[in-house]
Amino acid sequence: MLLHSSLRQKITFAYLVVAVLILAVSVFTFESLKRVEARILMSERISGLFETAMEIRRFERNYFLHAQATDLAENAVYIDRIEAMLSGGHQSFALLEAPGQIEALQEKTARYRQQISLYAATPAGSPLRSSREEQVRVTGKELVSITETLVQTERQLLQSSLTTFRITLVFIVVGLALFMIALGQALSRRISQPLQQMEDNVAAISAGRRDTLPPPSQDREIVSITLAFNQMLKELEVRQKHLLRSEKLASLGTLLSGVAHELNNPLSNIWSSCQILQEELGEADPSHQRVLLAQIDEQCERARHIVSSLRDFARERRFSREHFSLRELVEQTLRFIKSEIPGQVAITLDFADTLYLDADRQRMQQVFLNLIKNALDAISGSGSIDITARPRREDETSPAFPSDCEVKGDTIDISIRDSGAGMSAECLSRIFDPFFTTKDVGHGMGLGLFIVYQIIEEHEGCITASSTQGQGTTFFIRLPRLSEHVGSQDAEAG
């Protein structure tokens, strides 16, 4: 039954087994009842023999007492009747335990007929009469005693076959009930187990731990549900990609308007400096002109920076892993944004100089840049940013690190904590969504963390964040550790 390849077949097969069993039990019960019925008939027939023998004796006694011819005739009628009953021989009493008894009865009846006829023919007063009467009485007694024994034996046999039938019936009913319970359980296990497994797999898919549903059993219905589900997942993925592409296009529009807005400031500064220079050409003092030219130079640099960051966003670079020092990378990143770091913000680096990453250097720089810039935005004024990193062995547990950030093998665990404004749970749940921003137009496009997330995914790592409004935010990054170039874990301040 268990090898069948569809749930429907399994259920049909179980029904068939039950039907066959019920049929077998019905046939068995029918046959047993037939046997009991035959036994009852046999009992009745034997009782008939006994009653006839008793009648023979009754008329025999009457005849001996009153010497009436009618009693002798009645006696003869009953002798005929018992002979007719016995005429079928032992075949008509096939169920009898001792078939020899029938032959014995036949022989005794014949002798009895002979003896009573002889007695009737003996004239009254003859000395032979009393001895012949005695012979008739003895044979008559034997006739009754044989039939009586037969009746008792038959009654016992009937009783015992009824008891056997009752016990067998109880066993059959109990056995059938147990079998039905076991069958029901096996069937429900066969059906509910794959469904339970499917439920677990679907939960794993929604938790992002797997991307396709493996068929939990080879049953046709389950396989086709699994195939349909996987097809749906594939289509959803395609649609999601479409959506992302169109969102990216939409973001380019936002990005362009942001960039236009950003470029407007340096351009108008350059324009007004040029205006002044033009107006004062040949008259103004050279030191003022130098200030104006320096301003133009600075604003050009700002515009160039804006354009180059736009280019960076648009350009697709090939992913290439390098082996580099984390400290060097973070320090270089901090140098890039030095001018944007207010004096009252303290940034500490808490990891060994010898901690190396095997990652795409430029992409990781983008990660640190985006995270540090967000932290600075959240701090607005004075506060601190702490960047820590630790190598971790596969079997080690780090209580400070969120448990939902799972990466196989040895890892490097990085955390970036700021003392900024923090955010609400609702905001936290959306920060990695593309274009989610709480910042004003021109200040944020909501792509920073989305890009960070993509980059960490590309590295087969994971990123997560925790935050409490008013108490700062921490970003946790776990990256796979591919080489052993790690040094002491002494804390170092940067």
Q: Which residues bind ligand ADP (CB under 6 A)?
A: 370, 374-375, 378, 418, 420-423, 427, 431, 436-439, 444-450, 473
Closest separation in Å from C-beta 357 to ligand ADP: 21
> What are the distances in angstroms from CA 352 to CA 38, 477, 481, 489?
101, 17, 15, 5
Closest separation in Å from C-beta 264 to ligand ADP: 19
**177: amino acid identity, one letter:** A
Closest separation in Å from C-beta 261 to ligand ADP: 14
Return the H-helix or E-strand segment holding 345. Answer: strand 345-350
State which residue has the least CB distance to ligand ADP. 448
- Residue closer to ligand ADP (CB basis): 266 or 383: 383
Query: Roughly what angle, to the nearest 10 degrees, separates helices 7-66 and 128-206?
Result: 170
- Residue closer to ligand ADP (CB basis): 150 or 330: 330
Residues 120 and 439: their CA atoms lie apart, in Å, by: 140
Which of 463, 475, 367 lies closest to 422 in space, CA to CA?
475
Are 385 and 416 in contact by the 8 Å Cβ rule? The answer is yes
The gap from C-alpha 140 to its chain's centroid, in whole angstroms, comes to 83
Residues 432 and 1: their CA atoms lie apart, in Å, by: 51
Closest separation in Å from C-beta 448 to ligand ADP: 3
**Residue 358 DSSP SS3:** strand
- Residue closer to ligand ADP (CB basis): 101 or 374: 374
| Beta bridge partners of residue 346, listed in sequence order | 384
Which of 415, 364, 413, 367 lies closest to 387 in space, CA to CA?
415
Residues 132 and 134: their CA atoms lie apart, in Å, by: 5
Q: What angle do CA 326, 399, 368 make, to 5 degrees?
A: 25
Are 454 and 366 in contact by the 8 Å Cβ rule? The answer is no
* Phi, psi angle pair for 440, to nearest 5°: -70, 160
- Residue closer to ligand ADP (CB basis): 361 or 430: 430
Closest separation in Å from C-beta 449 to ligand ADP: 3
Closest separation in Å from C-beta 263 to ligand ADP: 18
Closest separation in Å from C-beta 470 to ligand ADP: 11
Helices (H), ranges, 210-349: 220-279, 286-314, 326-336
Closest separation in Å from C-beta 432 to ligand ADP: 7
Residues 151 and 156: their CA atoms lie apart, in Å, by: 9
- Residue closer to ligand ADP (CB basis): 13 or 432: 432
| Beta bridge partners of residue 391, listed in sequence order | 412
Closest separation in Å from C-beta 475 to ligand ADP: 7
- Residue closer to ligand ADP (CB basis): 354 or 437: 437
- Residue closer to ligand ADP (CB basis): 387 or 486: 387
- Residue closer to ligand ADP (CB basis): 311 or 393: 311
Closest separation in Å from C-beta 410 to ligand ADP: 28
DSSP-derived letter for residue 317 is: P
- Residue closer to ligand ADP (CB basis): 266 or 444: 444
- Residue closer to ligand ADP (CB basis): 461 or 472: 472
DSSP-derived letter for residue 97 is: S
Closest separation in Å from C-beta 400 to ligand ADP: 18
- Residue closer to ligand ADP (CB basis): 21 or 451: 451
**Residue 463 DSSP SS3:** strand
- Residue closer to ligand ADP (CB basis): 379 or 479: 379
Residues 440 and 53: their CA atoms lie apart, in Å, by: 124
Closest separation in Å from C-beta 212 to ligand ADP: 30
**70: amino acid identity, one letter:** T
Closest separation in Å from C-beta 295 to ligand ADP: 28
- Residue closer to ligand ADP (CB basis): 78 or 475: 475
CA atoms within 13 A on the CB side of 370: 24
Q: Match 């195939």 to its residue by tokens.
A: 227
**290: amino acid identity, one letter:** R
User: Residue 398 has which token pair?
Assistant: 């780090």
Any residues with CB less than 8 A from the CB of 450 and at least 6 apart, and which?
432, 433, 434, 435, 436
